[in-house]
Amino acid sequence: MLQKIGLSIVLTASVVGAADAQTKLVEKVTKKGDELVIPYEKYKLANGLTLIVHEDHSDPVVHVDVTYHVGSAREEVGKSGFAHFFEHMMFQGSDNVADEEHFKVVSDAGGTLNGTTNRDRTNYFETVPSNQLETALWLEADRMGFLLDAVTQKKFEVQRETVKNERGQNYDNRPYGLVYELTSKNLYPYGHPYSWTTIGYLEDLNRVNVNDLKNFFLRWYGPNNATVTVGGDVKPAEVIKLVEKYFGSIPAGPAVEDMKPMMAQLEKDRYISYEDNVRFPMLRMTFPTPESGHKDEAALDVLAEIIGQGKNSIFYKNIVKDQKALSASASNSTSELAGEFGISLMAFPNKNLAEAEDMLRKSIAEFETRGVTDEDLQRFKASAESNLINRLASVSGKVSQLASYETFRNNPNEIQEELRRIQGVTKADVMRVYNQYIKGKPSVILSVVPKGKKELVAKADNYTVDTSKSVAMPQEYGNLKYTKAVDTFDRSKRPVAGQATAVTVPNYYTAKLKNGLEIIGTKSDEIPTVTMQLTIAGGHRLSAANLGKAGIASLTASMLNEDTENYTSEAFSSELDKLGSSIRVGSGTDETFIMVTSLKKNLDKTLALLEERMFRPKFAQDDFDRLKKQQLEGIANQSTQPTAIASNVYSKLLFGDNHIMAVPAYGTTESVTSITLDDVKQFYKANYSPTVSNLVIVGDITEKEILGKLDFLKKWDKKKVTIPADVKAPAIAKTKLYFVDKPDAAQSEIRIGYVAMPYDATGDYYKTSLMNFALGGAFNSRINLNLREDKGYTYGARSGFGGSKFAGPFTASAGVRADATAASVVEFMKEINEFKKNGITEAELQFMKNSIGQSDARKYETPGQKAGFLGRILEYDLKKDYVNKQTDILNKITKQEIDALAAKYLPADNMHIVVVGDKKKVMADLQKLNYEIVELDANGNPVGTSSVK
């Protein structure tokens, strides 16, 4: 059952604060009992700005969100991508905040920030220590009211390149990256606000100019089209005063009318296709559905779950489990103006998509006879309740929810309505929406096939967008005027931070069972959930003595997610869904992990399922055959992805032949092919032991309560497991450039580095993380500012040390424009060499100390963060005061120490440089660099050598 709905709302029109401010309290919502509600106060300023305040003193942090009700749906034909482009420009300075200063100020305050754009809104947000609230509001207000005079042609051009790089990285250079763009283009009529994607078209980005940008700002970025939501360790009266000060004098912009829903209309099936650099043919069917918040939305969500989500779905039963396709799924996605019911199937190589379409249609039709069961609704409602509760685990989650509800529903408390819609779904509703939107209805049917395999499409293309007529949209850009606020204070002065609240690490308890299992936990009662993380040491490294079976840790973990002695995997999944719980087994380089989440009220039943999963796996042959085939296909698919090729080749070069870290954790085609079901059974029997395991518990439960529920773990038989010792990586005699050809790659992937050292909390490893912060560890680092902000070569560039208990690499990396490949290598190496030679500046040192030192307030907020902190203590055998020791090191470290670390741990002449890109586009420029070039294939094997020129 979902929690009882109840709330207390006070509606008023009283004036708050100074008489001339005219800030009105609209409503106040408080929590009663155990109801699911986010308490808040909502205000309206005289200029139309909406303010929402959520008070929560559980952690010394505050989250500020400014949401503008404008996204790509407000763009004009021929100017797609503008809303997202503008989001980038909002970080490039304003009258009182210099270029790149927004990121720097927030980082310097110990905070984090970003912005996002979708079809319907753009939001900007910061999470900062609560004493930095005024700084966050000052920054947001300055760009709302004082942006345009700081916009320059140079900034415009650099950010245009950055957005184009983002498109290259996330769309053009990513397998299946154009699926959504082509679906939208062909689903909606020409000119419809959803007929293009948020990223936009390159030709449109090339077409726009600075004046277009300024007009977009003037039309949509007024306070009357914005909601400021502040949540966390704050007092509402203080927030109101500050928001009035910084936002109250900004003049209102032109009035903004809500757009009306515009669901797509199709007369017949539209077949479209394109060829991509992929291994698996893909079919995507998209049916028009209504907008978000529509009365049919929840029923369509249930329908999608029954047809194509999880192991109890029709698609899983008919298609995936029988190995007729790699995957098949369904979902109902909604936006402000329309929705889309999407069905996707990933076929095995060389399979014709006409067969895939036939399979999908037969499975969809099966729903008519299968119908909807009580269990279907129970699973959906329990999972929905759990998802809603888990969204409230952080202040940022609660603030984002309030902001979204206000923007699209004019009701921050829409969570109550959402619950009512979920609770109210009936079997009849689900059957009705199936008949109304899916059965016999036309859809857009997109085939994505490997290059040169056009014959695999479902049907020949039969639709072309008609651009001779366009959906009529209002012209919004007449008579726009830039009027700045007139203030009685000096906005150029950055606010002084308030008194910082002392940050304390979570109190925790520890225990050790007789069989060797170590336990660590902490009580956290902000939401009624329990999170558990069981870690079994070893993972991929257990194959070090037998590389011929590499990938077995991954395959064994996958098998534990399947049938048990008493449950089929479908029945097991159903039981979890009815509880709103999850149990997931996975494997990494150094460990196997089991993640458990549960509502507290359902913990006993969830733990009973955990016991079943851990100790009674069935290890069925048909499950093994299916998962092994999927793992082999996944390995083969890596050869289509430049990022995977770059990382895999880089690891092979770093660690050398016969080192376990030179082999991907999922294994190779040869190693996985050799693995048998008996191998998996033996791996499980030999290596899953409490003697090398630890359990982290975070949630609304006491130590006594939880330890009383773990008898099944006390019975876990112990066995001796030996974790292989690390093998020293080969030395690098001199820096060379290794090149892998990826024809037609839109971008090049770059990896630069060497094998450095293992993790330690208070030695050189920790100190090098402080050293690297200025080089490549933050947005305002030298590497990122150079390659992204100054040159426009990339969407993002970074560097860092990656050690665990074992030595890990120092790596500098980026995906860069193809035409800037050689130049990017030059800039990377220039920054590394410069930092090695001359070290850090005093300003960078202070910035690093401020940023890292004040970020502690954000480290222990969510159950996941607490679990990560506690897990680290057990994994590395740390004392609770290690955090204090790190703080002491941070406060005392000098420029001389940082410079010495840079000189020691940045051996620029002894690194590998790996580049994956289109040879015909990039090789000529690479050959002009002063490096020996060794050409490799996608597996890291030599294919030739190119001499230096």
- Domain layout of the chain by residue ranges: 8-247, 270-388+412-456, 509-714, 736-859+879-946
Q: Could you tell me whether strands 529-537 and 591-599 are parallel, antiparallel, or unpaired per DSSP bridges?
A: antiparallel
Yes or no: domain 270-388+412-456 corresponds to CATH 3.30.310.50:
no
Q: Is the pLDDT of residue 9 over 90?
A: no
Outline where DSSP puts E strands in 339-390: 339-346
Backbone CA torsion sign across 657, 659, 663, 664: negative
C-alpha 597, offset from chain centre: 19
Q: Is the pLDDT of residue 864 over 50?
A: yes
358, two tokens: 């036939």
Backbone CA torsion sign across 159, 163, 168, 174: positive
Share above pLDDT 90 across residues of the chain, in percent, rounded to a whole number: 83
Backbone CA torsion sign across 742, 747, 748, 750: negative
CB-count burial class (<10 Å; 0-12, 13-18, 19+) for 843: exposed
| Residue listed under structure tokens 């690194």 | 911
| pLDDT given at position 506 | 86
Question: 3.40.50.300, 3.30.930.10, 3.30.830.10, 1.10.260.40: which CATH number matches 736-859+879-946?
Answer: 3.30.830.10
Backbone CA torsion sign across 399, 405, 406, 408: positive
Identify which of 547, 569, 745 has the alpha carbon closest to the alpha carbon of residue 641. 745
- For 149-154, the CB contacts below 8 A with 24+ separation are 149/95, 150/92, 150/93, 150/94, 150/95, 150/97, 150/99, 151/89, 151/92, 151/210, 151/213, 151/214, 153/210
> Are both 8-247 and 270-388+412-456 of the same fold?
yes
List of residues 6+ apart from 371 with CB closer than 8 A? 427, 431
Outline where DSSP puts E strands in 84-129: 112-117, 122-129
Enter the CATH code of domain 8-247.
3.30.830.10
In this prediction the pTM is 0.89
Q: What are phi and psi of 97, to 5 degrees?
A: -130, 120
Collapse the DSSP code of 545 into the 3-class scheme (helix H, G, I; strand E, B; otherwise coil) and give the result.
coil
Q: Is the pLDDT of residue 4 over 60?
A: no
| pLDDT given at position 379 | 94
Collapse the DSSP code of 563 into the 3-class scheme (helix H, G, I; strand E, B; otherwise coil) and give the result.
coil
Between 175 and 444, the more confident residue is 444
Q: What are phi and psi of 943, to 5 degrees?
A: -125, 0
Q: What are phi and psi of 586, to 5 degrees?
A: -145, 170
Q: What are phi and psi of 684, to 5 degrees?
A: -60, -45
Q: Is the pLDDT of residue 565 over 90?
A: yes
| pLDDT given at position 856 | 80
Yes or no: domain 509-714 corresponds to CATH 3.30.830.10:
yes
Cα–Cα distances in Å, from 465 out to 177, 183, 282, 373, 461?
20, 11, 22, 41, 12
Q: 295-339, pLDDT tens digit by residue? A: 999 999 999 999 999 999 999 999 999 999 999 999 999 999 999
CB-count burial class (<10 Å; 0-12, 13-18, 19+) for 640: middle
256, two tokens: 């903004």
Q: Tell me what the mean pLDDT of segment 881-908 comes to.
A: 96
Radius of gyration from C-alpha coordinates of the chain: 28
CA–CA dist 821, 929 (Å, integer): 11
424, two tokens: 């109210």
Number of residues that make up the chain: 949
Backbone CA torsion sign across 132, 137, 143, 146: negative
List of residues 6+ apart from 276 with CB closer than 8 A? 175, 176, 177, 178, 448, 449, 450, 451
543, two tokens: 């194959």
Q: Could you count the other beta carbons within 10 Å of the beta carbon of residue 512? A: 12
Q: Is the pLDDT of residue 5 over 80?
A: no
The overall average pLDDT reported for the chain is 93
Q: Is the pLDDT of residue 248 over 70?
A: yes
| pLDDT given at position 412 | 96
Share above pLDDT 70 across residues of the chain, in percent, rounded to a whole number: 97
Q: Is the pLDDT of residue 610 over 80?
A: yes
- The confidence band for 19, taking pLDDT boundaries of 50, 70 and 90, is very low
